[in-house]
Structure 1
Amino acid sequence: MAGDRNLHKLLNTIVNSFVELCACDGGSIFTLRKGLDGKDVLVFENMVTRSIKIEEVPEHLVNLRFTLDEDTLVSRTAKTRLPQRANFNPAAGAEARVDHVLNYATYNMMSAPLITPRGDLVGVVQLVNKLPYPSRPSAGTTPDFDQRDERMFNIVAAQAALAIENSLLLEEQERLLDGFVNACVTAIEERDPVTSGHSTRVSDYTVALGDAISRTETGPLKGVYFTPTQLREIRYAAMLHDIGKISVKEDVLNKEKKLHGWQLEVIRMRLKLMRSNLKLRQQATKEDLTEISRKLDNAWKMITDANEPNVLPAAVNSALQDLSSIEVEIEDGEVLTALTKEEGFKLSIQKGSLTTDERLEIERHVTNTFQILKMVPWSRGLELVPEIAYRHHEKLDGTGYPCKCPAADIPVQSRLLTITDIYDALTADDRPYKRAMPTERALDILGMEVKHGKLDSDCFKVFVEARIFEVCQKHKKAHLKAA
């Protein structure tokens, strides 16, 4: 019992052990938990019977809960911390409701507490319908539970309670870690609301892909298997793969176009002032300034077009350079230039919205992620979370970042994460600066990356054949239906 880390399996083992030890037909187990109001509550966990086969515990029983103050046998057992024995003819109350659900008949019961060696109550076991002793004259009837059964129960009760306590503690630690990870993701998305939901979707895709690979029976990935703990490790790495973005400046992180709105407004006001002064100058000096006026009149549309994060045509780039050379003198000899050197440089970005320095700052989020995750004392089985997240922008041909490492240094978990991260970035419909790409087009782009030796071909094949890309579509439809 002490070696079982899975709570459900452990509780099933414990109930079966007590049923065998005390020679009865069946049993159930409750664990002591904290309710939403902070009060102790007994939660139904599992049950077994010899006489009827229970494929799945009915929903009515799954949600069964009792406070310690209720007038039930299980509540009295927990409150007094003493074994309780009862005979039913017929069963009534909670026992009768359970019998009705299962089409069962409870004749007698022993309810006993599970108390650790330190004296902490962790749950209650209820055993039902004592079986006849073949060697006794009363064989063939239903005998009662007696003190001998209590003594047999107590032989292993403390050990069982300790095993449950350890398993519950592990479960609480996992919930705590889950809460911490979710809180981190929320913090990331608060700083970068444009990509809200990205980490969760990528996590869902990556875990589903890992699970599909574990079930692969042919090809190069046959024999690659991820344990539940390893899938949890993958999930955490995928959830936290962008946590390093918390150290990226907000105006860079949320930069949708080449220039920010306030920068465009400065240019607009400058052009307006230049046109006004040019008009006054022309009236005063009678100079022919028609060509300069025409360029200033056309400047605003060209600037706003160039500000979009699209591929910049060579003609527009040349026109921007020309615009940067236009100067107009205003009062007191001050000279205004249509575009400053910095503005012209940013508007001349060939593709996207980021300068080289800004892109490097964004790319540093991967190293920041690694440094942050390395500070967490990950428990056994989760040690690779930092490494998996660290490699998610690396490519098999060595062209990725931040390390440009070769394929041999990229773990398979990171290869999965790379595929799912790119897919979601292409298809996400929550980014205001671009339209969501259709699935077919996104798969074509990923396929080209595979063809060029950048992505893992075997992992991508499973991604397509197992239709992993439908995972979040199903979740979204279910959410919309529920709403």
Structure 2
Amino acid sequence: MDAGRVNNGGKRRFALSSFLGLNGYFGLLAGALLLLAGALLAGLGYVMMTQMLEAAVERRVDIIGRDIKRVIVSETRRPAEIFLASAAKSQLAMARTREERAGLLPLVLEALRSNNTFGAIVISYDNGHIFMAKLLETERERLFFDGPPESDMLVLDIRPFGPSPVSEYSFYDAQLRLLSRREDARRPEYLDSERFWYQAAMQADGVIETDPQIIHSRETVSMVMARKSLDGHAVVALGIRLDQLSELLAGERPTPGSRLVLFQPDYHILAAAQGLIAHNDGRLALRSLDDLAPVIRLGMEKFQQGLRTTELRLADGADSTGVRIQAEGRDWLLVLEELDDDPDRIGDFMVLAIPRDEMHVTAGRFLRYAMLGVGVLLLLLMPVAWLVARHVSTPLRVMTERTRNLMEMRDGGKKTPLSLVPEINDLMRNVEFMRENQRKILSIIGMIGGDRDFEALPGRVLREIMNITEADGGVLVIMSESKTALEKGWFCWDGGEIQKAVCPPDSEIPQNTYAMARALNEGCAIVDHVTRDDPRSALTAVTAGFAGYPGVERMDVVGLPLRGHMGENLGGLSLLKRVQEPYPGLSPEQLAFMETIAAAAAVVLETQTLIKSQQDLRDALIRILAGAIDTKSPYTGGHCARVPAIFQMLLEAAHETEDGPLKDFRLDDASREEARLAAWLHDCGKVTTPEYVMDKATKLETLYDRIHEIRTRFEVLKRDAENASLKARLEGADPAEEQRKLVRALAELDDDFAFVAACNLGGEHMDDAAQARLAVIGKRAWVRTLDKRLGVSRDELTRMGNAAVPDAPVRETLLMDNPEHIIPRGEKDMLPADNSWGFKLDVPDVLYNRGELYNLSIRRGTLTTEERYKINDHITRTIIMLEELPLPEHLRGVPEIAGAHHETMDGRGYPRRLQREDMSWGARMMAIADIFEALTACDRPYKNSKTLSEALEIMESFKKNNHIDPYLYELFQAADIPERYAVEYLKAEQNDLRRSA
């Protein structure tokens, strides 16, 4: 099962432990705690900061209220009231003529300049005269009143002459020098509401205030404060500028979206942070509270509902109050501040409406900075936590790696460092003990595949067991195949050489008290204590003659049986340990470990025995197959046995080459085994080739040589000639003439048959003339008097077809190519062009063509095209058979090496038409070995064997024509392989090179 997954109800899901180690858990835990603490602190800080900000807003409103109150009361209303009270009883209110008022202009100018909120001084008399003085502070005002550019003050006298009063405009500079004077019928803007405040002031005992109005000359907002004179014949009024209040409020807004408004109890706005003047189609108009801040109007309703009164007034003793409302899609905090100190009078109010989201920007910024700080701190502390966790978990990770190696039966890994945790150190020691024991066991089991020398293996096993168990000596014996007697033994003492002893035949297991004998008989570990004088110190018959153990007085002997997988005795093992004081003896753990080692050794020995048995069986089967092929075809003789000899010599020569293309070609045990099997199996496909095809010595030979049928027909023709001659004589022909004709006819038939017989041998190349003569001979007629369908097989009847057979006698040609001579190609004999093996062969249309004239007309050799394909087909069968074998990894190259020995370097060979670079070195060597053996074979009756010089001359031409690998052929000669082979396998007369040894 995958270590990163767990099984839950048949479903697979990832386990977190697959991705996080202990240091990861520590790091995550530290990070999570830090993140949680930081989030809690940041959240608490955010809540507290929002509360502090709201409290700060209320304090800010108090501060703004005090500033506004100071401006309104101390800098505006109180100075205005003082001025009005003073002016109401001054000469200014009593002056009735322009001349009298002109003398008071310095006092008027000083009063206007004393307070920048005083926009104009107006005195309205009961006789209809109106006096107004106003500073011209801007160019806009001078242009508005058509005053000179240097004018500083405007004095206006309105005299009620008739229905249209005359307004006299006098312009003065800063030193009160008259600059110009003119009369105009227009009424100044401050006087638009003159009747209202005049009447209100005349009726009041104190100062009255008007609603704000627009001053067009400055595009500002002002209000009028007025008071009647002491004598009651005039009203003194001041135009109070309110734009400075709006500017002050605009600078006090805590956030861009805040609304800050100063208004009277009747909701007339005195000042607003957004300004009071609205431009509507080129006209100036005062903004209402609904236009400026609907949220404030809604807030006022909330205040009134909370105070349970229709009057806008704070509760007794309260300077300000706040309320939270939702308007315009946002949450707002509204704070209301009353600006009048008189508890008996409802004064002006100031309202601040601030969006809570803007108010919390600072808190949000704090929260972000706090979380950023937490994140930075987390980034800084995570490596520290990771390093601490890594330091703590390093021993565990190393132990995890080692236990994983234990699970995967692998050795190695880092040395486990000491831990600060005692329990981890205890666990570490236990893991180290298990790892060391496993390493020792694996070192023995590793001999299964690491040592192919079975004879030396038991000695190596004994040496390894002695090293693992720290034994001073050891004895290992192997049972015979009967499992009742000892066969071989190995013993060693004190690190000396391994010595081998062969047991006498039928050496039975001793039935005495020897530890090993008891272990073999009882099937369990036996511990015995022996001394130098104890006769049992000889241990077993295997160690007879062993010259004791010098310097050892006492020893412990542990006898261990070596049992196979079915419980049978494979042999026995004795481990010897010196007894020296103080000596605690063998512990149960040590004894159990020795038993485990013995079991592992038994597995090694049994496995190697099975491997060797299987290899011996496989090699025997291969040799049986190769021998069967050679026995099947005596004409190929010992080809399958001789080719491996040549191939092996060339292979070893290549292995010893130090330069050239083969400088990196090296053999090991696995590659040697692969090459040996490929050589023995290179012609295994011949088991599928019919013997009569493979051994076809004449052209007409099948299961028998059909030349006998042809000879019989010639005999028939000779008898027919004799009968014809006798009949002619009986009919009166000249006997002498007839005899001469008969002699000539018989001689001609003998000559023709001799020619046909010579053609049947296929020893010489047949030219066109010979083929033409053969065709003429074949047309000779002879008379068949019997039905040819009688006594033939069903297959041959099928090939003859259903055509009607003429009644005998029938004249037939001497040499026939009949339908029954054609053997069709069955489905199993078909080879598709796109076959999976990559064979590229020209497949004949039929399987065999046994036509007599067709076979005798073969130009060279004895094989037809179909028969030659059948013989060549053995290599395709070889490849198919070998590729279907479940070969182990180190033998996967056997089909390629064995199946390419008919390929040529120029790509014209068969069956795959491989090029030189497509073939391995082994395959190219196999081609040379196969050719050389075929040329020099002396046991093939259809051809004469070649001498070494003749064979090498032919192979030299093959090299020039790029049929064989030129470099390998040069190595073949340089290594004296032809002569070395000739000494053992060729006749003496074939070795004509006469090379010196």
Counterpart mapping for 1:68-79 below 5 A: 69=509, 77-79=519-521
* Structure 2 counterpart of 1:293, from 724, 746, 759: 746
Q: Kindly indicate whether the alpha-carbon contact (under 8 Å) linking 2:685 and 2:877 is maintained by their aligned counterparts in 1.
A: yes
Q: Who wins on radius of gyration, i.e. which is larger?
A: 2
Distance 1:188-1:117 versus aligned 2 partners, 3 A rule: closer
* Structure 1 counterpart of 2:607, from 166, 170, 192: 166
Give the aligned partner of residue 522 of structure 2: 80
Q: Kindly indicate whether the alpha-carbon contact (under 8 Å) linking 1:7 and 1:164 is maintained by their aligned counterparts in 2.
A: no
Partner amino acid, structure 1, of 2:599: A
Deviates further, 216-225 or 73-82: 73-82
SS in 1 for 2:942: coil
* Structure 1 counterpart of 2:781, from 319, 327, 340: 327
Distance in 2 of aligned mates of 1:152 and 1:313: 83
Distance 1:436-1:252 versus aligned 2 partners, 3 A rule: same
Say whether 1:405 aligns with 2:914.
yes
* CA-CA distance at 1:223 after TM superposition: 1.0
Distance in 2 of aligned mates of 1:250 and 1:202: 21
* Deviations, residues 156-214 of structure 1 (Å, cap 9, x unaligned): 22232233333333333323322332343344334324324321222233233323322
Distance in 2 of aligned mates of 1:329 and 1:445: 50
Q: Kindly indicate whether the alpha-carbon contact (under 8 Å) linking 1:66 and 1:75 is maintained by their aligned counterparts in 2.
A: no
**Number of residues of Structure 1 aligned to a counterpart in Structure 2:** 458
Distance in 1 of aligned mates of 2:643 and 2:691: 23
Partner amino acid, structure 2, of 1:124: G
SS in 2 for 1:205: helix
Give the aligned partner of residue 619 of structure 2: 178
* CA-CA distance at 1:413 after TM superposition: 1.6
Distance 1:389-1:356 versus aligned 2 partners, 3 A rule: same
Say whether 1:393 aligns with 2:902.
yes
* Structure 2 counterpart of 1:337, from 791, 813, 825: 813
SS in 1 for 2:642: helix
Distance 1:291-1:410 versus aligned 2 partners, 3 A rule: farther
Partner amino acid, structure 2, of 1:153: M
Counterpart mapping for 1:245-260 below 5 A: 245-260=686-701
* Deviations, residues 425-451 of structure 1 (Å, cap 9, x unaligned): 222233233333333332332232122
Distance in 2 of aligned mates of 1:280 and 1:271: 14
Which protein has the bigger strand share?
2
Structure 2's unaligned 5+ residue stretches are 1-443, 786-807, 818-850, 987-997
SS in 2 for 1:220: helix
* Deviations, residues 212-255 of structure 1 (Å, cap 9, x unaligned): 32222122111111321122122222222222222222321221
Say whether 1:303 aligns with 2:745.
no
* Structure 1 counterpart of 2:465, from 18, 42, 65: 18
Distance 1:474-1:155 versus aligned 2 partners, 3 A rule: farther
* CA-CA distance at 1:126 after TM superposition: 4.2
SS in 2 for 1:114: strand
Distance 1:233-1:274 versus aligned 2 partners, 3 A rule: same
Give the aligned partner of residue 431 of structure 2: none
* CA-CA distance at 1:383 after TM superposition: 1.6
Partner amino acid, structure 2, of 1:311: E
Q: Kindly indicate whether the alpha-carbon contact (under 8 Å) linking 2:655 and 2:667 is maintained by their aligned counterparts in 1.
A: yes
Q: Kindly indicate whether the alpha-carbon contact (under 8 Å) linking 1:312 and 1:348 is maintained by their aligned counterparts in 2.
A: no
Counterpart mapping for 1:33-432 below 5 A: 34-35=481-482, 42-44=486-488, 48=492, 53=497, 61=501, 69=509, 77-83=519-525, 87-88=534-535, 91=538, 94-95=541-542, 99=546, 105=548, 111-115=559-563, 121-127=569-575, 136=581, 153-260=594-701, 261-285=704-728, 288=741, 292-314=745-767, 316-328=770-782, 334-341=810-817, 342-432=851-941
Distance 1:64-1:159 versus aligned 2 partners, 3 A rule: same
Deviates further, 285-294 or 301-310: 285-294
Q: Kindly indicate whether the alpha-carbon contact (under 8 Å) linking 1:277 and 1:329 is maintained by their aligned counterparts in 2.
A: no
Distance in 1 of aligned mates of 2:562 and 2:622: 33
Partner amino acid, structure 2, of 1:44: K
Distance in 1 of aligned mates of 2:493 and 2:664: 38
* CA-CA distance at 1:307 after TM superposition: 2.4
Question: Structure 2 length normalisation: TM-score?
Answer: 0.41
Q: Kindly indicate whether the alpha-carbon contact (under 8 Å) linking 2:700 and 2:707 is maintained by their aligned counterparts in 1.
A: yes
SS in 2 for 1:340: coil
Partner amino acid, structure 1, of 2:710: I
Greater length-normalized contact order (CA 8 Å, ≥ 6 residues apart): 1
Distance in 2 of aligned mates of 1:215 and 1:64: 43
* CA-CA distance at 1:466 after TM superposition: 2.9
Q: Kindly indicate whether the alpha-carbon contact (under 8 Å) linking 2:502 and 2:542 is maintained by their aligned counterparts in 1.
A: no
SS in 1 for 2:626: helix
Deviates further, 397-406 or 460-469: 460-469
Distance 1:424-1:41 versus aligned 2 partners, 3 A rule: farther
Q: Kindly indicate whether the alpha-carbon contact (under 8 Å) linking 2:713 and 2:782 is maintained by their aligned counterparts in 1.
A: no
Distance 1:383-1:273 versus aligned 2 partners, 3 A rule: same
Which protein has the bigger helix share?
1
Structure 1's unaligned 5+ residue stretches are 139-143, 478-483
| Identity level (%) | 27
Question: Structure 1 length normalisation: TM-score?
Answer: 0.80
* CA-CA distance at 1:111 after TM superposition: 4.4
Distance in 2 of aligned mates of 1:71 and 1:439: 66
* CA-CA distance at 1:271 after TM superposition: 0.9
Distance 1:115-1:284 versus aligned 2 partners, 3 A rule: closer
